[in-house]
Structure 1
Amino acid sequence: MASIITLVRLLLLLLPVPLRKHLWPASHQAEDLAGAGELLHPIFMVPGVSCSDLEARLTEAYQPSIPSCGALKAKGWFGLYENSSDISEHHYHKCFEEQMSLVYDPIRNEYRNLASVETRVPYFGIVKGYHQKNPLGPKWCLTRLIEALEEMGYRDGDTMLGAPYDFRYAAPIPGQTSQFYSHYFKELMELVEATSEKHHKKVIIFGHSLGGMVILEFIRSTPLAWRDKYIKHLILVAPTLSTGFLSSVIYLASGPQGDLLYVPKATALSLRPMWRSFETSIINIPSTKAYGHKPIVITKQRNYSAYDMEDLLTDIGFEHAIEPFRRRVMPKMNYFKAPMVP
């Protein structure tokens, strides 16, 4: 019963503030939360795209396209996508786009960094490592939810943990390889086990947007017995499921919009080549099972349905995405295995 009450409280935190206050008045919150710390199941928070930071290191073999991009070569780790204002202040746009870009390896059927560019995701295990890249944009990195959880008694790095990820890569399904996610899933699995054993409780995993897809694939990659032992609840809020979204087509055609990939003074079109290099850019192309033959792109020349996505990729000048689309995305569109977690 106690765990059900805790779950209800967590779900209440997802509601708009006026509705939450109506259903859970402040006078009741103080009473409900008194002594709740001992009942709290540890929770892992995994937000959407671009909330995680990314650091890079350029090896001696790095060959920059322009000399200024090699200024940090062989000088250790630096924040590649951390404080987005630094990109403009240091006139680093071209270098940023070059060093952030991925390449598809058809032999291994997976994406990787450019040669001599190494990357890592910092702050694994804490939620305060998530950063809003657009300081003037809406808070969508679970900031308010994290603050509300702290009011409930959750503590960063102890009962509330973060699992930041490299948003350029798409989480694989069984049978697909991913150098990044093979390490990420292993590290997350170990942290879940350690946290659960430390607090003698199963953990709750919360994923939002792309983070929801990452966590769903993590859960589905684990043995069922492991899930039964360590996972209390899986909560997915607006996950980017493999059925696809119309907005993904817009981003492919015109570049990432709004806060999806915020870089000061950069236009969506200027970021489009870099965005197209990410595996993430094609992972949510509309699927035939969800969209059927209904036109989703209408032009003067022709209309395109979900069955015409390869033609669309060719017509927008992105034909080299067809192979990874066939080999990495289409299998995901037909993978509907339930996570088997309440």
Structure 2
Amino acid sequence: MMPHLIFPLLACLCFFLASCTSPAHGETSPGLYPVVLVPCYTCSNLDARLTDEYQPPPGMPWCGAMKGKGWFRLWKNQTALQDPRLMPCYADQLRLVYDHTADDYRNAPGVETRVVAFGSTRGFGSDDPAMKDGENMFGANYDFRYAAAPPRQPSDVFDSDLSRIRDLVEHASRKNGGKPVIFVSHAFGGYLALEFLSRSPLSWRQRLIKHYLMLSRGDGGDVVILRTIASANAGPSSNVLFYANTSRSFASPLAALASPRVFGHAPLVVTRDKNYSAFELSDLLSDLGFSDVAPRYLRRALPVTLGIRAPLVLTTTVVGVGLPSPVRLTYWDGDFGKVPQVANDDGDGFMNFEVVSASRTVIDNEPDQGYFKLILLPNVTHYGVVSDDFALTRLVEIVAEINQSTS
């Protein structure tokens, strides 16, 4: 699903969650808990400003028009998306570079960025915040281009995001009489949420997290992202994330790659000459021409994927099932620029059920986890969890049950 379609879904989810945590007619209730929502991939708006160091792409001086003019919307920039002349500028300013000296990802030289309206659902692609936004509904926006690194490896932006989310949870609790928060994540937001929880002190989690509600997220990555990495033609040219391989410069796609712990030795990408399982993804990256990226994947992304742990707070996972979901891509003649043949299995149309099962296994096998519940929504898509009437009604029921729980 394209990002411009995802934004309204998150706004819809915010509205419904706010509705089920907000008393009617302005009344207050001591039993309601604040909600902190971690949105899906690309749902957080980003602003940018250009310094004198910024050099436009060759032959495109107009890309530097915003130099010295302050902050402007980088993601999602509707003007640039509708003007083919500006698309290269947009892609160039959105890309990341890897700083080998700092051993970390950075913005392109001369580009400074910030997350828009952190703490508010206003930063989810719309200037209209959810009802009760900033009172008992809060948005944990983040820079979706970055990803976690293993402990003791630099990951400045991601670590900063985690620190700000921790402060936001504490703020939400204080603003609501010291009540713990209902922590909600959707899709890729669950990757950040799980890392946030596992890297926060257990005593802090037990005191400030009432319940973790994980939507459309499993453990172990997915196969869909392989098509994006493999093919420069994985999406429409109007999508800046595919333009000039922009998304391939991000750290986050590597974090979403299929985990060997979940997918084992089953072939995920097939050609006439070679099969690639989750154990051979570094080989796939090298064969695609990303030989410099392959070592970073092995050293930075893979250890985090393999190290995903139970959140050790009360947890409910909600996912869709019953829809064909990719488990294998075939590029028989080895041309990754072509549309692959796709083999499917059961899932939510994006994430297959094997990933969901792995998440259940990881959490259930942790003796200190306590409460965990997996809720399957038949024939509900990855994004339909936050848009379909049936799914939204079920989410309202779940959050209402959490509010009424005394555990």
Same fold? TM cut 0.5: yes
Within the candidate set 227, 239, 253, 2:217 is matched to 239
Within the candidate set 67, 71, 82, 1:88 is matched to 82
Within the candidate set 42, 46, 70, 1:54 is matched to 46
Residues in 1 aligned to 2:302 and 2:313: alpha-carbon distance in whole angstroms: 25
Structure 1 segment 55-134 matched on structure 2, within 5 A: 55-65=47-57, 66-89=60-83, 91-131=85-125
Aligned-partner SS, 2:122: coil
Using the aligned pairs only, state the percent identity: 37
Within the candidate set 273, 276, 279, 1:301 is matched to 273
**Which letter does structure 2 place at the counterpart of 1:222?**
S
1:41 correspondence with 2:33: yes
Residues in 2 aligned to 1:91 and 1:81: alpha-carbon distance in whole angstroms: 17
Residues in 1 aligned to 2:112 and 2:52: alpha-carbon distance in whole angstroms: 11
Task: Spell out, residue by residue over 1:270-323, the C-alpha distance to the aligned partner (whole angstroms, 9 max, x if none).
Answer: 525211100112112222221111111111222111221122112222222112
Structure 1 segment 309-320 matched on structure 2, within 5 A: 309-320=281-292
Aligned-partner SS, 2:173: helix
Equivalent residue, structure 2, for 1:165: 142
Structure 1 residues 240 and 169 mapped into 2: Cα distance closer, same or farther (>3 Å)?
farther
**Which letter does structure 2 place at the counterpart of 1:55?**
D
> How far off its partner does 1:45 sit?
0.9
Residues in 1 aligned to 2:80 and 2:38: alpha-carbon distance in whole angstroms: 25
> How far off its partner does 1:218 sit?
1.1
**Which letter does structure 1 place at the counterpart of 2:135?**
D
1:195 correspondence with 2:195: no
> How far off its partner does 1:266 sit?
4.4
Residues in 2 aligned to 1:183 and 1:339: alpha-carbon distance in whole angstroms: 20
Structure 1 residues 123 and 264 mapped into 2: Cα distance closer, same or farther (>3 Å)?
farther
Residues in 2 aligned to 1:33 and 1:39: alpha-carbon distance in whole angstroms: 13
Q: Larger relative CO (CA 8 A, sep 6+): 1 or 2?
A: 1
Aligned-partner SS, 2:159: helix
Structure 1 residues 166 and 47 mapped into 2: Cα distance closer, same or farther (>3 Å)?
same
Aligned-partner SS, 1:75: coil
Query: When you count strand as a share of all residues, which structure comes out higher?
Result: 2
> How far off its partner does 1:238 sit?
1.7
Residues in 2 aligned to 1:87 and 1:267: alpha-carbon distance in whole angstroms: 7
> How far off its partner does 1:120 sit?
0.5
Equivalent residue, structure 2, for 1:330: 302
**Which letter does structure 2 place at the counterpart of 1:341?**
V
Task: Spell out, residue by residue over 1:155-205, the C-alpha distance to the aligned partner (whole angstroms, 9 max, x if none).
Answer: 111100001111100134433322112222222212211221221211111
Within the candidate set 171, 176, 184, 1:206 is matched to 184
Equivalent residue, structure 2, for 1:289: 261
Structure 1 residues 256 and 111 mapped into 2: Cα distance closer, same or farther (>3 Å)?
farther
> How far off its partner does 1:71 sit?
0.6
Aligned-partner SS, 2:205: helix
**Which letter does structure 2 place at the counterpart of 1:250?**
R
CA contact (8 A) 1:109 1:324 kept: no
CA contact (8 A) 1:252 1:272 kept: no
Residues in 2 aligned to 1:37 and 1:96: alpha-carbon distance in whole angstroms: 46
Structure 1 residues 43 and 255 mapped into 2: Cα distance closer, same or farther (>3 Å)?
farther
Residues in 2 aligned to 1:308 and 1:90: alpha-carbon distance in whole angstroms: 37
Residues in 2 aligned to 1:37 and 1:172: alpha-carbon distance in whole angstroms: 41
CA contact (8 A) 2:55 2:64 kept: yes
Residues in 2 aligned to 1:119 and 1:254: alpha-carbon distance in whole angstroms: 27
CA contact (8 A) 1:85 1:264 kept: no
Structure 1 residues 172 and 341 mapped into 2: Cα distance closer, same or farther (>3 Å)?
farther
Task: Spell out, residue by residue over 1:199-228, the C-alpha distance to the aligned partner (whole angstroms, 9 max, x if none).
Answer: 121111100111111111111111111112
CA contact (8 A) 2:36 2:184 kept: yes
CA RMSD of aligned residues (A): 2.8
1:230 correspondence with 2:193: no
1:265 correspondence with 2:238: yes
CA contact (8 A) 1:173 1:217 kept: no
Where in structure 1 are there 5+ consecutive unaligned residues? 1-12, 18-28, 133-142
> How far off its partner does 1:256 sit?
8.0
> How far off its partner does 1:91 sit?
2.6
Residues in 2 aligned to 1:307 and 1:90: alpha-carbon distance in whole angstroms: 39
Structure 1 residues 250 and 240 mapped into 2: Cα distance closer, same or farther (>3 Å)?
farther
Residues in 2 aligned to 1:213 and 1:230: alpha-carbon distance in whole angstroms: 19
**Which letter does structure 1 place at the counterpart of 2:208?**
Y
Structure 1 residues 164 and 316 mapped into 2: Cα distance closer, same or farther (>3 Å)?
same
